[in-house]
Amino acid sequence: MTEEPRYLGSGAIDSDTASLTGAPPSHLPARLTISLWDFSWYTRAEDGGPYADLDAACAKAAELGYNTIRICAAPLLLFGNLGLDGLATDLEIEGLGKSPDGGFYGRGTRWYDAPGGYRLNLQERLLDLFEAAARHGLVVILASWEYQQSTVFAGTPAWFDAIDAVPLHGRYRVLADAWDRLIGALTAAGHRERIALVELHNEVDFSILPALADGGTEQLHRLRSLHPDLLVTASYGKPPHLAMHAMADGLGAAQFHVYSYGVLDALQQQIDVRSDGTFGFPNQALSALLRPDAPSVAEYGRLADWKYRATVVTDQMFYGYDWIDPDTWDAWLYNEYGTYREVMRREIESRVSAIAAWARWKKVPAVVGEGWIGYTPLHGTFEEGPIGRDLAECGIRTALNHGVWGMVLCSNAAPHHPMWADEVWQRRMNSLILAAAAS
């Protein structure tokens, strides 16, 4: 008598998750290997800076195996019709401003370590970037950080004041109109097929914007109808991976970010570095991590008041990161990491798989445009070191196994971060991603 095979239910049947969640336009790369250039491509263009020579920066990215850069294209400044034409062609980059000790604020932070001291024509520079990208075979993800932090680097509050004057309910409409005009300008210059993705705004959940469902969805549909050949979406800093069905409608791609703070969050809570105006700051825990020559908060001083309104970073974080001893910071994270290792890996895996499953349901390409640990001081090496690279590789391999179209190696793998010097690891990871595209 032949026994019937045991049946374990559909949960025991392997399903194909490695195929792409949704088909990208055929003229774009089969997989995107992304370097996050954000607004730094114009805020770190000082003499000798990482983006002083755009052609050289693009050439290096291509040499390391990247095929995509993700930038803030400043659509509101360049094409927002907000009375900023003069700034668009003559923008003073100041950075966060000079500090009392003769240095500049933000020197110990990532992304904000801009010494400033120059002016540029950002309209021309955008075209220069696309021309350099074309020469080196790169495509470009277009986003805006303007309602999050781009304006803080300007020498005057005019840019911030102009976009802040737009009523909250009208901001998505103004963004969509600006993107329509910017896309038109790039098309006229012959660069339409170099646009990999257009994001209405970066991290709409962490910006000075309404919820995407409150006006953004309508504008996404409108912009997509105007440019049906392009992928148009908005990005989320922390999508609701336990309730992805609650995501707003209208996204042409799942460009979501995956950070697993874990041990970093434990440290940040202990030293209270992300708050604003805490009585008695810095506390004892933070004081123990500061450099011996750290000034008092009063001696450190403050940025111009308008700059705090123009960014999501707090005064306590600027002070803390500018004066942290990076070795002491790293030692704390390494000593405590064991407690958080498994939960951090599982969080990366679960968030990536949730994003990919949602994208597959919606039949749109999935992209991890930022990740994997979080916001660390500029000279801290925890994320660049063996633990951080291991978590990044966990994210990359999970993304490939779940059909994610594009991904960063790490948010810190870009010309304005020390991780850019780790060429061997970047080449290896980019080769892994591109090999998956060929399989």
pLDDT at 35 over 80: yes
pLDDT-based confidence at residue 131 (cuts at 50, 70, 90) = very high
> What digits encode the pLDDT tens for the residues 290-331?
999 999 999 999 999 999 999 988 999 999 999 999 999 999
pLDDT score recorded for residue 1: 55
Mean pLDDT over 108-128 rounds to 98
pLDDT at 9 over 80: no
Peptide linkage before 282 cis (omega within 30 of 0): yes
| Spatial distance between the Cα atoms of 311 and 301, rounded to a whole number of angstroms | 17
> What digits encode the pLDDT tens for the residues 42-73?
999 999 999 999 999 999 999 999 999 999 99
Token pair of 249 as six digits? 């409608």
Percent of the chain having pLDDT more than 70?
A: 96
Per CATH, domain 16-438 is 3.20.20.80: yes
pLDDT at 13 over 80: no
pLDDT score recorded for residue 14: 60
Among the listed residues 17, 32, 5, the one whose alpha carbon sits nearest the alpha carbon of residue 356: 17
Instruction: Please give the DSSP secondary-structure letter assigned to residue 324.
Output: B
Q: Lowest-pLDDT range, 145-149, 171-175, 242-246, 274-278? A: 274-278
Residue with tokens 């805006």: 144
Mean pLDDT over 386-391 rounds to 98
Cα Dmax for the chain? 90
Quick check: helix, strand or coil at residue 371? strand
> What digits encode the pLDDT tens for the residues 327-352?
999 999 999 999 999 999 999 999 99
Mean pLDDT over 133-138 rounds to 98
pLDDT score recorded for residue 277: 86
pLDDT score recorded for residue 385: 97
pLDDT score recorded for residue 217: 97
**402, 16 in Cβ contact below 8 A?**
no
In one-letter notation, the amino acid at residue 363 is: K
Task: Spell out the domain ranges in the chain.
Answer: 16-438
pLDDT score recorded for residue 8: 64
Reported as half-sphere exposure (CB side, CA atoms, 13 A), residue 375 has a value of 17
**249, 214 in Cβ contact below 8 A?**
no
411-434 burial, b at 16+ Cβ within 10 Å, e below that, comes to bbbbbbbebbebeebbeebbebbb
| Spatial distance between the Cα atoms of 59 and 169, rounded to a whole number of angstroms | 41
> What digits encode the pLDDT tens for the residues 179-233?
999 999 999 999 999 999 999 999 999 999 999 999 999 999 999 999 999 999 9
pLDDT score recorded for residue 7: 62
**413, 426 in Cβ contact below 8 A?**
yes
Instruction: Please give the DSSP secondary-structure letter assigned to residue 244.
Output: G
**27, 193 in Cβ contact below 8 A?**
yes
pLDDT score recorded for residue 22: 97
| CA–CA distances in Å: residue 290 to residues 105, 232, 271 | 16, 44, 11
